[in-house]
Amino acid sequence: MTDSAIDDTVTDSDLAAALRAVLDGRWGSVRDQARDELADSSWLPDPSLTMQEARDRVLGQLQVLAKAGVPKPGFTPQQGGTGDVGASITAIEMLGYADLSLMVKAGVQWGLFGGAVAGLGTERHFGLVPGLIDLSVLGCFAMTETGHGSNVQQLETTAHYDAATEEFVIHSPTPSSRKDYIGGAAEHARVAAVFAQLITAAPGAEPEDRGVHCFVVPIRDDAGADLPGVTTSDCGYKGGLRSVDNGRIMFDQVRVPRTALLNRYADVEPDGTYVSPIENDNKRFFTMLGTLIRGRVAVGAASGAASRKALTIAIRYGLGRRQFEDPSTGDESLLLDYRMHQRRLLPLLARSYAFALRQNEVVAELHEVQSSTEVDQVRQRQLEAEAASNKAAATWHSADAIQTARECCGGAGYLAANQLSTIRDDHDVFTTFEGDNLVLTQLVAKEQLTAFAEEMHGLNAAGWARFVADTARSTFLEKSAARQIVQTLLDDSDENFEESELTKRGVQLRMLGEREDHLLRSAAQRMRRANEPDEDAFEVFNNAQDHIIAVGEAHAERVALEAFVDALHGMEEAPAKDLLRRVCDLYVYATLEKHLSWYLSYRMVSVERAKAIRRGVNELCAELRPHARTLVDAFGIPEELLATEMPLS
Amino acid sequence: MTDSAIDDTVTDSDLAAALRAVLDGRWGSVRDQARDELADSSWLPDPSLTMQEARDRVLGQLQVLAKAGVPKPGFTPQQGGTGDVGASITAIEMLGYADLSLMVKAGVQWGLFGGAVAGLGTERHFGLVPGLIDLSVLGCFAMTETGHGSNVQQLETTAHYDAATEEFVIHSPTPSSRKDYIGGAAEHARVAAVFAQLITAAPGAEPEDRGVHCFVVPIRDDAGADLPGVTTSDCGYKGGLRSVDNGRIMFDQVRVPRTALLNRYADVEPDGTYVSPIENDNKRFFTMLGTLIRGRVAVGAASGAASRKALTIAIRYGLGRRQFEDPSTGDESLLLDYRMHQRRLLPLLARSYAFALRQNEVVAELHEVQSSTEVDQVRQRQLEAEAASNKAAATWHSADAIQTARECCGGAGYLAANQLSTIRDDHDVFTTFEGDNLVLTQLVAKEQLTAFAEEMHGLNAAGWARFVADTARSTFLEKSAARQIVQTLLDDSDENFEESELTKRGVQLRMLGEREDHLLRSAAQRMRRANEPDEDAFEVFNNAQDHIIAVGEAHAERVALEAFVDALHGMEEAPAKDLLRRVCDLYVYATLEKHLSWYLSYRMVSVERAKAIRRGVNELCAELRPHARTLVDAFGIPEELLATEMPLS
């Protein structure tokens, strides 16, 4: 597709190294350190262990990570850490190359439990941090309930304040209020960060429900027995993540001191008076939730690592495995020489590149926002929307890539000794936890349609539809924080993209951007009905739900392309850049092909161009085929973690 | 979409019963018997068992099935069975509602091993059958090798005939000739049906390789120890099917008597002379393979059952689970009231109906062909192509449906106690074994393009491309065995389907048929290049591979619609028929939507119609929503097998 051939005087390993530098990004040194530490196949999951053995083992591995100082960057120096958020996420991401169970265990202890204490607590709680860093305090993150996963505002667990004793009473009033699927709750955790409806009465007033807050609640004694009033149980066997001890917790009038409330955003005074620097309940709730965004970003990151590993295994297998005769050579053909095999794997590889580059940007933005002493609310809200859209898009992509990798290795792919089936099992729930992908994907559209209006938070579907109908803002069309290089490329490209060269980056940007804008406009248009008489606002929302989901997906794909463009822009002209350009082209062509019926339906692509797009995917696959090994080597996955029984080329 | 409303004086259970009769089809009584026998949750897999315990348990369950006479219909009365092929496949299918591991164990013993002995052997081997029916002879089916899964003709295991001792010498000459992934080979099997290259010399002549044949080879003694020259090993942990003891076998000059050759299609006389009623090596090989088609049909059938069960669980969960507030009622909304949830599950449900009806036809045709005393070669070839296309389409659909069902149940779907993750794990390899789906999908196009020409068999990709280019037959356009009702509906519909009503069945048939024909024509056109000078025939094939795959998929979708139409035609006018008509409409609309970019690209659908199709999917989902429970009840899955920890409505 591109005119210039890739300079073949450069060695493949030089090419891979140059690409790796781009993919590694700002926290490359953290990645290299992790590569050294993880370069041992003993980090890989062992399918022969019983559930109990696997749980014991992962705790031991966690201790190794703790000793190596892995958790420290996630906490501020004041709290006993080293204060490097980006490094902390990157280290967790790298665990995705080894064992997703270990990644989840680490994420629960340091990211979710630790993140709640460090992010929602104040000085009075930070004494816990050294212990949770060195694992003398094992914790869990008790948010989800049997009845409420996605709808956190409706959690049922209560925390009644008792001014007489200056205690909160934590209670599970119904079967559906049981905390459920909680990593660590089945066995290891001694303390839980419990999300519950805070109910308190100011002196002389009636008790009032102040919404969901987080409390530090001891659940087990040192010997591991449930504390009085606490009943834990085990979620048992799961579709994967065998080492993670997911469990349930019921509270029967469990008393904790007033100071157990993580009181950064709200507190209860000894007499029961509720105080908060944030007046609006919804705003406070969503500010608290926003603090916890790190887990979501880490899940997207580790998911990306898992899919890069799966693709690496499948592509290297396909470069060695032969099947059916190629008469021109007399040998059988390599799997990766078949067009269908290329078409199955290489567009996913290109998408992995795009999403990895975008993931790095989200991590960097998280780092900036959470390292800053000033609070920029719009920036925080934008980051939340980006993290949501990115998590959903990344984990859906990874689920697809991992499954395809398994299938492309046939029966060998099904054996645990070849890792893919374990990666698939462990990864499966990534599309669900830390925010169900469908729910998260809607967030982008909702935020954009209301231009990040504060009032939007806490509205239900119908209320939100009515809000959009009322305000009918058009600001959403101005893309936030447009990048210089993207703007330049857009300006250089013809607005009439149907007649422009599809190989031009500006045209590509325009096509992906136009899809997002168009979907957004049509969602807005549909919402306008919500305030018409005789219209049920929930119905109006529901009838547009498929559009709203499509916006979120289109958004993730557009910003990933922009991240790709930015990364290319930062490279000097060299063979690695030529190669990466084609990977970017394949990402774009495959994305256009995926949505071809949409582009054709809205006449943004002619029938002729549609055929050119399909052809383009084929041609780019063929062009990248000779570089497939280089492209996966660029991920820099330690060879020890690619240990398989089947031979990899 | 349809004009008439569904008569609501009929109870849901009457509706479900009427639909069940249609879905159950010809072997409904076998299904009812299986429902009775399997109505006990103790048939379900137990995730807490170790691999060894699971293997022991499944063998016990197999013995229960043997005692109940389950395997008998698969064998002729002469062999000690009751001779009802359709009943035999149907019984195996029903195991898919209980435990896919058990289904595979039963399939290996009675379908593959038993099928090889009964189908490739002669009287001298039938003495084995009573033992393999009652499990006193445990067998395995040793076809696949480490180096060759899909390409059976290139298997490397050898069977040299030694006229001096009147024995065959079975040998694994290379590491890649190791028999691999063989169900039963790790532990239980005492005897193997071994596929190997038969090499023999007529008196005074040089030894000649006569191609792959099958031999009955004892591999273990009664105590389970490997026999001399046999080395078995264990494939260990897999992505699922934990109870199935997949293993490997290496042969070191293992001698078996001359009569170990399953000699229905070829024999070696004591002096080494090779004799066969089928002269052509390729034809003989493919005739042998064709005998083994039963396994492939059974895999498609059980896969269908697994996906119907998964959809039943997800849909019934979605009819009880609420999340996020519906302001019109004050309650939270049921998951299945959300459009996206409907869109994820209901089109898959409609496709499951279509594929179940088609599967029944394939089983019936298999029954007829294998029950007949006459050999109709064309009919046999057509059946093989249909079985291949059906297996691939059915298992791909099921993989999609099972995964979607898991995701639609969120975190609960990930718990083993709710069955979906186990179904997914066990099913995953169904797209690979009994013929890799990609390889099978190509078969339909290849057979149609060469009009089932005998010479086609055994050609490699390049040879096949040249053959198509040479013969350029157009006969493939005449659909085989056109059905009366389909023809009538087609005749009644306007050829210019763009201007006809999309709700008309004839137009729907035309649209799905036209896609298949068009893809086939364009594949043929591309093949013509194969004989041009300067063209590499393999390249020509490879460049058209995506078209060839698409033909196979389009074919499966078209014939499934025809099966649906036939089933509707056989029903009397009643509310159940009205309901089923809409399910059929949803199947068609969702299929058109899936391929919308193709229809738009080839101008078979206008932009306006494309939008109508998308709208139609939404509307049909909404129409079927109130009947969702009825539609899954119609599958008649015993309630005991739907035991889950999460509540189902």
Over chain A, what is the mean pLDDT? 93
For a pLDDT cut of 70, what percent of chain A falls above it? 94
Average of pLDDT values for A84-90?
Answer: 97
Q: Please report whether residue B12 resides in a domain.
A: no
Residue A255 or residue B468, greater confidence:
A255
Q: What is the pLDDT of residue A224?
A: 96
Q: What is the pLDDT of residue A407?
A: 97
pLDDT at B474 over 70: no
- Which of B134, B156, B176 terminates a domain? The answer is B134
Average of pLDDT values for A236-264?
Answer: 98
CA angle A192, A197, A202 (to 5 degrees): 120
- Per the CB < 8 A criterion, the answer to whether B139 and B188 are in contact is no
- The closest CB to that of B414, out of A48, A239, A618, belongs to A239
Distances (CA, A) of A304 to A101, A298, A348, A426: 15, 10, 11, 13
Q: 3-class DSSP state for residue A96?
A: coil
List the alpha helices (DSSP H) in B96-231.
100-106, 114-120, 123-126, 129-134
What is the DSSP-derived secondary structure letter of residue A5? P
Task: Give the CATH number, domain containing residue A152.
Answer: 2.40.110.10
Q: Please report whether residue A12 resides in a domain.
A: no
Q: Please report whether residue A3 resides in a domain.
A: no
Instruction: Note whether A573 and A456 are same-domain residues.
Output: yes
Which of chain A's residues have a Cβ under 8 Å away from the Cβ of B462?
326-328
- Which of B109, B134, B159 terminates a domain? The answer is B134
Instruction: Note whether A91 and A222 are same-domain residues.
Output: no
Q: Please report whether residue A585 resides in a domain.
A: yes
pLDDT at B531 over 90: no
Q: What is the pLDDT of residue B478?
A: 47
Structure tokens that stand for A637 in this block? 């996955």
The dihedrals phi and psi of A249, each to the nearest 5 degrees, come to -135, 130
Indicate yes or no: CB of B240 within 8 angstroms of CB of A414: yes
Average of pLDDT values for B389-395?
Answer: 97
Residues B319-345 have pLDDT tens digits of: 999 887 665 667 788 999 999 999 999
Q: Please report whether residue A13 resides in a domain.
A: no
Within 10 angstroms of residue A188's Cβ, the number of other Cβ atoms is 24
CA dist A501 and A509 (Å) reads 12
Q: What is the pLDDT of residue B177?
A: 97
User: Would you place residue B535 in the very low, low, confident or very high pLDDT band (cuts 50, 70, 90)?
Assistant: confident
Query: At residue A528, what is the residue type?
Result: R
For a pLDDT cut of 70, what percent of chain B falls above it? 95
Indicate yes or no: CB of B151 within 8 angstroms of CB of A239: no
CA dist B627 and A261 (Å) reads 48
Instruction: Note whether A242 and A336 are same-domain residues.
Output: no
pLDDT at A502 over 80: yes
- Per the CB < 8 A criterion, the answer to whether A379 and A385 are in contact is no
Task: Give the CATH number, domain containing residue B542.
Answer: 1.20.140.10
Mutate to test the interface with B, among A339, A344, A621 (most CBs of B within 10 A): A339
Q: What is the pLDDT of residue A357?
A: 98
Q: Please report whether residue A649 resides in a domain.
A: no
Q: What is the pLDDT of residue B79?
A: 95
Which of chain A's residues have a Cβ under 8 Å away from the Cβ of B238?
414-416, 421
pLDDT at A270 over 60: yes
Q: Please report whether residue B354 resides in a domain.
A: yes
Indicate yes or no: CB of A618 within 8 angstroms of CB of B546: yes
CA dist B337 and B590 (Å) reads 19
Instruction: Note whether B149 and B82 are same-domain residues.
Output: no
pLDDT at A240 over 90: yes
User: Would you place residue B497 in the very low, low, confident or very high pLDDT band (cuts 50, 70, 90)?
Assistant: low
| Pick from A385-389, B221-225, B456-460: least confident | B456-460
Indicate yes or no: CB of A239 within 8 angstroms of CB of B417: no
Within 10 angstroms of residue A216's Cβ, the number of other Cβ atoms is 23
Q: Could you tell me if A424 lies within 8 Å of chain B, comparing CB atoms? A: yes
User: Would you place residue B449 in the very low, low, confident or very high pLDDT band (cuts 50, 70, 90)?
Assistant: confident
Q: Could you tell me if A501 lies within 8 Å of chain B, comparing CB atoms? A: no
Q: What is the pLDDT of residue A30?
A: 98
List the alpha helices (DSSP H) in B186-338.
281-291, 293-318
DSSP B152-185: GGG---EEEEETTTTEEEEE--SGGGSEEEEETT
User: Would you place residue B436 in the very low, low, confident or very high pLDDT band (cuts 50, 70, 90)?
Assistant: very high
pLDDT at B103 over 70: yes
Q: 3-class DSSP state for residue B590?
A: helix
- The closest CB to that of A327, out of B326, B340, B462, belongs to B462
Instruction: Note whether A302 and A236 are same-domain residues.
Output: no
- Which of B110, B134, B158 terminates a domain? The answer is B134
Q: What is the pLDDT of residue B477?
A: 43
CA dist B250 and B272 (Å) reads 25
Per the rule left: phi > 0, alpha: psi between -120 and 50, beta: everything else, A272 is left
CA dist A340 and B234 (Å) reads 32
pTM over 0.90, yes/no: yes
Among residues 335-394 of chain B, which lie with CB inside 8 Å of chain A?
Answer: 337-340, 343
Instruction: Note whether A86 and A227 are same-domain residues.
Output: no
Instruction: Note whether B328 and B433 are same-domain residues.
Output: yes
Instruction: Note whether B119 and B143 are same-domain residues.
Output: no
pLDDT at B475 over 70: no
Residue B192 or residue A470, greater confidence:
B192
Indicate yes or no: CB of A421 within 8 angstroms of CB of B463: no
ipTM, two decimals, is 0.94
Task: Give the CATH number, domain containing residue A114.
Answer: 1.10.540
Q: What is the pLDDT of residue A1?
A: 46
Indicate yes or no: CB of B546 within 8 angstroms of CB of A340: yes
Would you call A619 exposed, middle or buried from its count of C-beta atoms within 10 A (0-12, 13-18, 19+)?
Answer: middle
Instruction: Note whether B472 and B343 are same-domain residues.
Output: yes
Q: Could you tell me if A462 lies within 8 Å of chain B, comparing CB atoms? A: yes
Q: What is the pLDDT of residue A3?
A: 45
- The closest CB to that of A338, out of B323, B545, B610, belongs to B545
Instruction: Note whether A129 and A160 are same-domain residues.
Output: no
Over chain B, what is the mean pLDDT? 93
Distances (CA, A) of A242 to A16, A235, A239, A395, B639: 34, 11, 8, 19, 28
Q: What is the pLDDT of residue B476?
A: 43
Q: What is the pLDDT of residue A637?
A: 98
Q: What is the pLDDT of residue B574?
A: 94
- The number of domains in chain A is 3
Query: At residue A131, what is the residue type?
Result: G
Structure tokens that stand for B191 in this block? 């005897």
Which of chain B's residues have a Cβ under 8 Å away from the Cβ of A602?
607
Domain limits at B463?
Answer: 294-641
Indicate yes or no: CB of B425 within 8 angstroms of CB of A462: no
CB contacts < 8 A, A to B, total: 220
Within 10 angstroms of residue B487's Cβ, the number of other Cβ atoms is 13
Q: What is the pLDDT of residue A480?
A: 47
| Pick from A247-256, A473-482, B90-99: least confident | A473-482
Instruction: Note whether B400 and B258 are same-domain residues.
Output: no
- The closest CB to that of B411, out of A144, A343, A545, belongs to A144
Among residues 140-169 of chain B, which lie with CB inside 8 Å of chain A?
Answer: 144, 148-151, 154
| Pick from A155-169, A221-235, B468-482, B569-583: least confident | B468-482
Q: Could you tell me if B253 lies within 8 Å of chain A, comparing CB atoms? A: no
Instruction: Note whether B553 and B501 are same-domain residues.
Output: yes
User: Would you place residue A2 in the very low, low, confident or very high pLDDT band (cuts 50, 70, 90)?
Assistant: very low
Q: Please report whether residue A5 resides in a domain.
A: no
Residues B370-384 have pLDDT tens digits of: 998 888 888 998 999
Q: What is the pLDDT of residue B480?
A: 47
- Per the CB < 8 A criterion, the answer to whether B209 and B272 are in contact is no
What is the DSSP-derived secondary structure letter of residue A225? P
Cross-strand bridge partners of residue B209: B199
Residues A94-123 have pLDDT tens digits of: 999 999 999 999 999 999 999 999 999 999
| Pick from A172-181, A274-283, A321-330, B113-122: least confident | A321-330
